Structure 1
């Protein structure tokens, strides 16, 4: 009997040590709190994205975020804030274009994904921002939804199709001036030959590109906690929610206007936690 008790105690201590080690790993980084009309949310800023982490910390310490609004809210997608123009904004004013006079270089990492509660940086679209640089201040928090395995399979196909289209567009854009000149000078046969050559070049580049595939970790996250996987690889995720998922759900469900701005202002205050 004593041997069994002793063995059980050793097993308990072993599991406890593993649990503590896991907590310490999870706790690496800087914790911040976002206080709102609906309650508080606590986040961990990743050390793996140091430029975004340090920028968010600096703005927080400067009081930049205090009294700004969650100016864009879309249920089952995300809530967005950080626009300096939202401070004291008049009712119904369209928001979302404000930011400091700088951007932050992309720090996109495949293991940092858009699971529910992910803290990520907003940015301008690819056509004016091919480097995917982040806004100096605007951020969003993912709510998303829970996916099935078949749903993720379908999304993989869509994302690979989108990647193929982007590669094709890039190839033709790089040769746009040449094609325009052939058309302008009436060289239709040469134009058609060149189009065929560029299609072949685009197909070659597509075949050389590794198809997008969700990792087992991504599939587990998106089929349990949920999130918004189609954003992965396109925006910098620089933190994750530790507490306040109920607050996120409450904010995501508020009534909004045609610009996705909440009809009743949701102010924020951000503080660094020790």
Structure 2
């Protein structure tokens, strides 16, 4: 058997064995992401930047957001992404604005998941979005600021929310951004690299919140053992 024929057979076998990506639409979203989540149970993600490494843990009880994020990472959606929006004591936002996806993710709110410092949350359109559905791909990590007990009580009254003891402790000691609670879906958190979030949040910006120097990142899923 000549080399050309062997190479052709190998390519054919590879093509047959490679599973094609399913395109998500508003109609099939829940079904596709639910199945994808079962087949891809990973919940650890690593982001590499010129300023250091950020490690994330994705929550299993926000299954659609977790599955969607893992799917996009594995399929290379974020290959040319960067942290394109920075707001000190608020958040750092990442993604690739050149790419558009034709779907949104249903909100998966959970009072145990709130916008403490290091929370991983999904951005969304605020206008004409009564269900508070998330962007398909634009995410942010909370930088935030510390609150006093009085600040927390005032914010809770203004927002009409009840504060759990662990929320109060986190907002007092680590900080966060309470106004986002119940508005955006938190689906993970930083487990290592809060100092890197600090460095990025402290970068110089122009035109309000765009970094003066581009901050690209690479992102990968830690495969389950």
Is TM (by shorter chain) over 0.5?
yes
CA distance in 1, matches of 2:157, 2:109: 21
Deviations 1:80-126 (A, max 9, x none): 011342xxxxxxxxxxxx5311111111111111011000000000x
Cα separation, partners in 2 of 1:258 and 1:84, compared to 1, 3 Å: closer
Structure 1: 4+ residue segments shifted above 4 A: none
Q: Secondary structure at the match of 2:66?
A: helix
1:36 shift after superposition? 1.0
CA distance in 2, matches of 1:78, 1:45: 18
Give the corresponding residue for 1:243.
Answer: 192
Report 1:129-208 matches (<5 A): 129-160=129-160
Q: Counting helix residues as a fraction of each chain, which structure ranks higher?
A: 1
Q: Secondary structure at the match of 2:65?
A: helix
Give the corresponding residue for 2:173.
Answer: 224
Give the corresponding residue for 1:269.
Answer: 218
CA distance in 2, matches of 1:77, 1:228: 7
CA distance in 2, matches of 1:135, 1:159: 23
Q: Check whether the contact 1:72–1:80 (CA below 8 A) recurs between aligned residues.
A: yes
Aligned length in residues: 183
Deviations 1:134-174 (A, max 9, x none): 000000000101111011112123223xxxxxxxxxxxxxx
Give the corresponding residue for 1:190.
Answer: none
Structure 2 unaligned spans of 5+: 1-40
TM-score by length of 2: 0.78
Which one scores higher on RCO, CA 8 angstroms, separation ≥ 6? 1
For the pair shown, which has the larger CA radius of gyration, 1 or 2?
1
CA distance in 2, matches of 1:241, 1:266: 18
CA distance in 2, matches of 1:249, 1:123: 23
Q: Secondary structure at the match of 1:242?
A: strand
CA distance in 2, matches of 1:227, 1:81: 18
2:80 to 59, 67, 77: 67
2:51 to 38, 60, 73: 38
